[in-house]
Structure 1
Amino acid sequence: MTASPTLVVGATMPRHEQRIEQLDLIRYAGASGDFNRLHWDSGYAATASPTSGVIVHGMLNIAVLLRVVGDWVGGDDRIASTSVSMRAPCPVGALVSFQARVVEVDEQAGRAVLAVGAELPDGAPVVDAKRSRVTVRLG
């Protein structure tokens, strides 16, 4: 875990890139019980998926995002709430870029609000940073 940054309005988490592979989907399906064929059956996904291929579980992308945000703010125990807007399906094997920026700090309430997002290499938002927020506890 990294040291807690100074959470001031405008502070930006270093961009984190991660490629989510088929093995990650298998592990996630086993843990979550989500065995939808869009996440493992390439023949089925070729005809049913919006990408014409296997796609990553949306909640898996959110889990990765929350893990890196938690690391940045000094621990996932600081995450108080999340509100995310999913925008685009994520093809398996795509390099996803995760980001966060502090948009509000309330010292009196002991919290900060971060705009968070995830995007594909072409800029397509998987998690829309304009509409997605994570609230974290300060200190």
Structure 2
Amino acid sequence: MSGLSVDAVKAGETRESVLVDDLKRTRIVQYAGASGDFNPLHTDERFAVEAAGYPGVFAHGMLTMGMTGRVLTDWVGTEALLRYGVRFKAQVWPGDTLTATATVESVEDTPAGPVAHFTLRTVNQHGAEVVTGTATARLEP
């Protein structure tokens, strides 16, 4: 992908993507292995319930952040992404379905070329926000 043209992006435009339907514990454990984050809150049901007082294990925040980023990279490409940050709003549990929305807040001409500023929002199947964020991507002139 050579990049998204500045003429192809307008303020107010949105893209929505279902990131995962029925998140499996297997995927959470796979992420633990890939990331090296073996915190028992994410991998050990007994620890999460008995020692920490949670209803069960839950997804790593960075797994949710990574999945959320897909709505943006599927739109603008990975090479165009200049900045991406999120705020974790709620835990993501096995069984959750996550849907992300990226919205173009503005398009700006900068000395380095045009950029688009985005807001991001990921919700679970109940409509509760689990992640919010912002991003900036380079556009082709």
TM-score normalised by length of structure 1: 0.85
Amino acid of the structure 2 residue aligned with 1:99: T
Look up the match of 1:136: 137
Q: How big is the alpha-carbon RMSD for the aligned residues of Structure 1 and Structure 2?
A: 2.0
Consecutive aligned runs of 4 or more in structure 1 exceeding 6 Å deviation: none
> Which has more strand, going by share of residues?
2
CA distance in 1, matches of 2:16, 2:94: 23
Aligned match for 2:62, one of 42, 47, 59 = 59
Structure 2 stretches lacking a partner, 5+ long: none
Structure 1 stretches lacking a partner, 5+ long: none
SS across alignment from 1:46? helix
Does the CA contact (< 8 Å) of 2:16 and 2:99 recur in 1?
no
Alpha-carbon deviations, 1:22-76, whole Å to 9, x = none?
A: 12112211111100111111122223254x1110110001111112310112x11
Q: Sequence identity of aligned pairs in percent? A: 32
TM-score normalised by length of structure 2: 0.84
Aligned match for 2:9, one of 2, 7, 10 = 7
The 5 Å alignment of 1:112-123 reads 112-123=116-127
User: Which stretch shows the higher mean deviation, 107-116 or 13-22?
Assistant: 13-22
CA distance in 1, matches of 2:31, 2:114: 33
> Number of residue pairs matched?
133
